[in-house]
Chains A and B, each alone.
Chain A
Amino acid sequence: MTAGDPALACEDLGFSFGSLRVLDGVSFEIEPGAVVALVGPNGSGKTTLLRIAAGVLSPDAGRVSYPTGGPRSVGYLPQSPAFAPGFSARRTVAFYDSLVKGGDAPDDLLARVGLTDVADRDVAALSGGMTRLLGLAQSLVGDPGALVLDEPTSGLDPAMTRRLFDLVDAATEAGAGVLVATHDLAAVDRVADEVLLLDGGRFLVRGTPDEIRAAADADSLDDAFVALVGREDRRVRSGAETDATPSAPVAGDGSTDGGGGSTDASTTDASTTDAGPEAGHDGSTDGSGGGGA
């Protein structure tokens, strides 16, 4: 890694599930020490973009790059972290640490995420919030130069949420670049250096939180989101909407179906998670246990 290299760079990414175009020419960079927030309506492709950015899903087009040289280039916290049953939190982190050897010791990592008191508890006995914090500890193994976090605050109480973003701050102070997808727009307002609003496979708008608010002529990011995306009916997208102008500030009035010239936006009930079907072992993370015979 040399001075000036981004911690994470995505160039002209494209991805489709069959005939469904999920990402179309998406590009961005994250500088070391910066936090970039990825927001967008449900089904807009955030998880797909994060998985591509983390290197666990191959794009149909474009490329992802990180600086090399460290023991681990990118850390990844999936949307629903789950771990092999029958292991304590400490042994789980120790396993991941054993794949790197060069990161923090397992106990140090557990202390950083506040799980010292449950270090010997079986992962199956951890609460959802604790499991997410364990996932965060896993993502920090090897001190990666880039962190990709998918809905890290989902299911966390306010204290845990604060601790999580304190850890994000610590990681950025250590030089990591962070890409985080979240619906917690108040947290985005506090921590993000840049916000990427993904809709219809492209960035509907991007900029600092202030620029996003200004683009929507809104007082808060919540209001700006609703105005720009026009999703007051709380439905999720199931179809490709590919006419959005990339990276263009949009002064949405909240009355359109996508704010970016989307076409034929069929809708479904608002209960699905992000980004449609997944193929094979790049598939769902339902957290079910097992792994035994």
Chain B
Amino acid sequence: MNDLARTLAVAEREFRTLLGSRQFLALAVGFLLAVVGFVLAGAGDRGFVLLGLSLLTPLEVLLPVLAVAVGYRAILEDARRGELDTLRTYPLSRYAYVGGVYLGRLAALLPTVLLALAVAGALTAVGAGPATGVVASHTTVDSPLLYVRFVLLTEVYAAALLAVAVALSSVVRSTVGALAAAATALLVLVVGFDLGLVGLLAGGDGPVPGALVAASPNGAYRGLVLELVVHVVTPERLGAAATPVLSLGSLGLWTVLPLALAAAAVWRD
């Protein structure tokens, strides 16, 4: 019996807990309907790449809400029930516990995102013109493969956001505190960083460095979608974006560092 097996045991418990939660099912359905709504409102009329571009901004709001809702009470609830105390009497490291909580919630979150975006893609394939049926990677040609790339990048973004939510759940002491922390996190993630960038742009002489653009999860995700999906087919620069490596590195750090914080905060060895 090793830490990996215990991590998976915790992950399975988290996954089943989430699947049995009406709140989660409501969130998943709400997310699906919101994404489909954007498609039906016209986001899917002009092919896969423009679908991704049209969904980019809504997802920068919807995904933080979904991820935070999925994760902000994950560890707090175990603590409130007293199960953290019980778990500590087992040969379970805090890393295995936090990793299991994260993986279990991620296993529910990623298919939720995938399903919504798959439905959006299917609606686009059915409703858009014949060009959307072309499967190709050549630049300037719209392609379902570029949409797949968009979906994968969105999953990476969702994974980073969930790590932030799990970290929040490890440091809050009460449901009220968790709600306040979640609201604050959403404000910072969704608008805070971008407002900071706007301030820099307004007060600075030149363009904002790529590292700063990619410093936030939203900025990194936006940069990745622009560089690896949108700019592949359109040479027009639609926004400031860091290099893909920088943006991926940022999302990686936004995943690893919050989980490390959660492991440090959940209990003392």
Binding site for B on A (CB under 8 A): 51, 54-56, 58, 71-76, 78, 80-87, 95-96, 98-102, 138-139, 141-142, 144, 280-293
Contacts and interface: CB of A to CB of B under 8 A. Distances in A.
Interface of B: 1, 5-6, 9, 12-13, 16-18, 20-24, 27, 69-70, 73-75, 77-92, 170, 173, 266-268
A291 B89 contact: no
Contacts of B27: 293
Given A85-B17, A283-B79, A286-B80, A76 B89 contact: yes
B89 to A, nearest CB: 5
B6 A54 contact: no
B20 A85 contact: yes
A58 B17 contact: no
5 contacts: A87-B13, A96-B90, A99-B92, A285-B80, A293-B73
Contacts of B18: 292-293
Nearest to B92: A99
Given A71-B91, A290-B73, A291-B21, A84 B83 contact: yes
B78 A291 contact: yes
B40 to A, nearest CB: 25
Chain A to chain B: the 3 pairs with minimum beta-carbon distance, closest first: A292-B21, A285-B82, A86-B20
Contacts of B86: 56, 76, 78, 81, 96, 138
A55 B16 contact: no
Contacts of A82: 81-83
Contacts of A139: 89
Given A99-B90, A100-B1, A281 B79 contact: yes
Contacts of B84: 56, 281
A73 B92 CA distance: 12
A100 B1 CA distance: 7
A131 B191 CA distance: 45
Contacts of B70: 293
Contacts of A144: 89
A125 to B, nearest CB: 13
Contacts of A78: 82, 85-86
B89 A58 contact: no
A293 B89 contact: no
B89 A74 contact: yes
A117 B266 CA distance: 36
A292 B9 contact: no
Given A86-B21, A100-B1, A281-B266, A54 B85 contact: yes
Q: Which of B9, B23, B92, B268 has the most CB of A within 10 A?
A: B9
A33 to B, nearest CB: 20
Contacts of B90: 72, 96, 99-100, 141-142
A293 B81 contact: no
Given A54-B85, A291-B77, A292-B17, 12 more contacts: A56-B86, A72-B91, A82-B81, A83-B81, A84-B77, A99-B1, A281-B84, A289-B81, A290-B77, A292-B20, A293-B70, A293-B73
B73 A291 contact: yes
A84 B81 contact: yes
A55 B89 contact: yes
A291 B17 contact: yes
Contact of A292 (B6, B22, B79, B92): B22
Nearest to B66: A293
Contacts of B77: 84, 290-291
Contacts of B173: 280-281, 283
Nearest to A100: B90
B189 to A, nearest CB: 18
Nearest to B24: A293
Given A84-B13, A84-B81, A86-B17, A101 B73 contact: no
Contacts of B21: 86, 291-293
B62 to A, nearest CB: 14
Contact of A87 (B6, B16, B87): B16
Contacts of B170: 281
Nearest to A281: B79
A292 B81 CA distance: 13
A164 to B, nearest CB: 18
Q: Which of A54, A55, A102, A290 has the most CB of B within 10 A?
A: A290
Contacts of A101: 1, 5
Contacts of A285: 80-82, 85
A98 B24 contact: no
Contacts of B82: 78, 80-82, 284-285, 287
A289 B81 CA distance: 7
